Amino acid sequence: MDNYSAVVVEGLRVDRGGHQVLHDLTFGIPTGSITGLLGPSGCGKTTLMRAVVGVQIVAGGAVTVLGKPAGHPSLRNKIGYATQNPATYADLTVRESLRYFAAVLGAPRTDVDRVITEVGLGDHADKLVGRLSGGQRSRASLGVALLGDPKLVVLDEPTVGLDPVLREELWTLFDNLAKRGVTLLVSSHVMDEAARCERLLLMREGRILADETPEELRSQTGQYDLERAFLRLIADSEVPA
Amino acid sequence: MSVAITLATTRRILTQLKHDKRTVVMMLVVPSLLMVLLRYMFNSELAFSRVAPALLGVFPFLIMFLVTSITTLRERTTATLERLMTMPLGKLDLLFGYAIAFGALALLQVALATGISVAWLGLEIAGSLTLLLVIAMLDALLGVALGLLVSAFARTEFQAVQFMPVVVLPQALLCGLFLPREEMGWVLEWLSNILPLSYAVEALNKVTATTDVDGTLLRDLVIVAGSALLALVIGAATLRRRTP
Ligand SMILES: Nc1ncnc2c1ncn2[C@@H]1O[C@H](COP(=O)(O)OP(=O)(O)OP(=O)(O)O)[C@@H](O)[C@H]1O
Ligand SMILES: [Mg+2]
């Protein structure tokens, strides 16, 4: 385990619903980087993230997070995790909900206001989460992952359903976190977001197709557009060797 | 376990209820209304006084079972539980958080129903009023604990509601409310002997009828409290940090 990697995954296998959905994954995520996790629907992004935060039963292999096995009790206030389906209480206001999660994390109460501003919900802080729009609700859920002082932030499709302006704001926020040394793992369907990542993990059907920088992906496939590069990679991987 | 996290959880649940005033009013008022209904259904203070103590145990048990099974199921099916399981929250923090919040509500519920029964409906309580409230509270906690437990076996709220006839009705039918337990056939009497609500009702009847606190009463209290604790611990075991 090098100090250089915030997450080390070795030979990870996961079975779900009677099928193997992750097949012998091995990769590392450098500390203080933003890593994009990309791939078609159902390829196993959420499952991989669940394994990293330690809520997924795994069939084999090892996941090491900040030098400890994933799910280790000492990691529980060092990881911020936003699930794909927004996870906050619909019958609480944004502020009340954040206040509860802050208390569970032992984060200072001032964090609540900081996070509300960071996710741009200042005008809706005292609205019930259940009465927010889809994008607002997912930002309320994202806010929970930013509470406290996480060293690793795992975000499952945090920008789905957001307009370009908000997406830009959130990516600036992610950049700032990474500059402070926080490691981010962010899944996305949107390929133009891939360009904002330092590293890309491209997944397909439970395997890693590529683990490289956007630049490497472009030069390897000869496609500037990352979406095309990804399609190219898939096409190449299907050609029998 | 952490006291701070448990209390934060209690506070969160009470805040959720604050935003759902209709549920709170129903929980607090419905048992009292049913007591009034029963009093005039029997049209006799004597007959009412015979069933009232048992009902002061059955109502909180039933209502808390329903409310808890649905709210905890919601926590399991929306991703909030998954998220909490990645945080420094102990399973018992969550369960005790629920138990304290709903226990407090149950206390109000029973205090109201008892107050109305004693003040206006002619119920006489020979023994200690505090003890009566304690027993009713334990009943409510038993409901909370069993509600938590069954929420592990239900996938949908619809299924959770279906557990009521399975878990609550047999206990309510066999607890001695409708027929003295000694008069049931031996199979049913035996069954009634292993159901915790029977002991709660026995204790409630005793506290209403006499002033003395004897060994049977203490045994009943221990059995009800023990069952509630056992259900809570099994409920905790059904909460998993890692899921398939
Ligand atoms: N709760 C579950 N039980 C059984 N199988 C599941 C469960 N959740 C997901 N799967 C299966 O695991 C595989 C990977 O799912 P996963 O949710 O990780 O995909 P994903 O890449 O996150 O997809 P999406 O982009 O649509 O969110 C899928 O084939 C899916 O059918
Ligand atoms: Mg997913």
Cβ atoms of B118 and B125 closer than 8 Å: yes
pLDDT for A52 beyond 90: yes
Atom of ligand 1 nearest to the CA of A189: 25
Query: Is A51 part of any domain?
Result: no
pLDDT for A1 beyond 70: no
pLDDT at res. A3: 58
Please say whether the dihedral angle defined by the alpha carbons of residues A201, A173, A105 and B91, taken in this order, is positive or negative. Answer: negative
The predicted-structure confidence for A117-153, as pLDDT tens digits, reads as follows: 999 999 999 999 999 998 899 999 999 999 999 999 9
Q: Which residue of B has its CA nearest to A81?
A: B83
Q: Which residue has the tokens 């002991």?
A: B199
* Token couple for A69: 């096995």
Residues, chain A: 241
Instruction: Identify the band that residue B29 occupies on the pLDDT scale cut at 50, 70 and 90.
Output: very high
Cβ atoms of A163 and A193 closer than 8 Å: no
Residues, chain B: 244
Mean pLDDT for the stretch of residues B219-224: 93
The reply to whether A144 touches chain B by the CB within 8 Å rule is yes
Q: With helix as H, strand as E and coil as C, how does chain B read?
A: CCHHHHHHHHHHHHHHHHCCHHHHHHHHHHHHHHHHHHHHHHCCHHHHHHHHHHHHHHHHHHHHHHHHHHHHHHHHHCCHHHHHCCCCCCHHHHHHHHHHHHHHHHHHHHHHHHHHHHHCCCCCCCCCHHHHHHHHHHHHHHHHHHHHHHHCCCCCHHHHHHHHHHHHHHHHHHCCCCCCHHHCCHHHHHHHHCCHHHHHHHHHHHHHHCCCCCHHHHHHHHHHHHHHHHHHHHHHHHCCCCEC
Among candidates A73, A101, A103 on the partner chain, residue whose Cβ is nearest the Cβ of B4 = A103
* Token couple for A165: 């302006």
Query: Is A127 part of any domain?
Result: yes
Cβ atoms of B185 and B210 closer than 8 Å: no
Please say whether the dihedral angle defined by the alpha carbons of residues A167, A132, A129 and B82, taken in this order, is positive or negative. Answer: negative
pLDDT for A37 beyond 90: yes
| Ligand 1 center–CA A157 separation, angstroms | 14
A188 C-beta closer than 6 A to ligand 1: no
A100 CA: distance to closest CA in chain B (Å): 6
Q: Name the burial class of residue B53, with classes exposed (0-12), middle (13-18) and buried (19+) by CB atoms within 10 angstroms of its CB.
A: buried
| Half-sphere exposure (Cβ direction) of A112: Cα atoms closer than 13 Å | 18
Q: What is the mean pLDDT of chain B?
A: 89
pLDDT at res. A62: 96
Query: Is A133 part of any domain?
Result: yes
pLDDT at res. A74: 95
Number of domains in chain A: 1
pLDDT for A12 beyond 60: yes
Which amino acid is residue B240, in one-letter code?
R
Query: Is A126 part of any domain?
Result: yes
pLDDT at res. B181: 85
Q: Given an 8 Å threshold on Cβ–Cβ distance, is B11 in contact with A53?
A: no
Cα–Cα distance, A36 to A213 (Å, whole number) = 10
Among candidates B8, B16, B20 on the partner chain, residue whose Cβ is nearest the Cβ of A104 = B8
The predicted-structure confidence for B122-149, as pLDDT tens digits, reads as follows: 898 888 888 888 888 888 889 988 998 8
- Residue ranges making up the domain that contains A112: 90-140
Cβ atoms of A207 and A25 closer than 8 Å: yes
Atom of ligand 1 nearest to the CA of A17: 4
ipTM of the complex: 0.90
The predicted-structure confidence for A148-170, as pLDDT tens digits, reads as follows: 999 999 999 998 888 888 899 99
| Ligand 1 center–CA B199 separation, angstroms | 47
| Ligand 2 center–CA A202 separation, angstroms | 14
A85 C-beta closer than 6 A to ligand 1: no
The predicted-structure confidence for B54-85, as pLDDT tens digits, reads as follows: 888 888 899 889 988 998 898 888 889 999 99
Cβ atoms of B157 and B70 closer than 8 Å: yes
Q: Give CA angle at B192 (B47, B125), nearest 5°.
A: 35
pLDDT at res. B11: 97
Instruction: Identify the band that residue B240 occupies on the pLDDT scale cut at 50, 70 and 90.
Output: confident
Instruction: Identify the band that residue A88 occupies on the pLDDT scale cut at 50, 70 and 90.
Output: very high
Which residue's CA is the closest to the ligand 1 atom numbered 27?
Answer: A41
Task: Name the residue among B39, B63, B33, B65 with its Cα closest to residue B51.
Answer: B39
Range with the largest mean pLDDT of A47-56, B62-71, B118-127, B154-163: A47-56
Choose the weakest-confidence range: A90-99, A113-122, B45-54: B45-54
Phi and psi angles of residue A28, each rounded to the nearest 5 degrees, phi first: -130, 155
Query: Is A112 part of any domain?
Result: yes
Q: In this structure, which ligand is nearest to the CA of A201?
A: 1
Query: Is A98 part of any domain?
Result: yes
Query: Is A145 part of any domain?
Result: no
The predicted-structure confidence for B91-121, as pLDDT tens digits, reads as follows: 889 988 998 998 888 889 989 999 999 999 9
Percent of chain B with pLDDT over 70: 100
Query: Is A178 part of any domain?
Result: no
Cα–Cα distance, B87 to B45 (Å, whole number) = 54
pLDDT at res. A240: 60
pLDDT for A32 beyond 90: yes
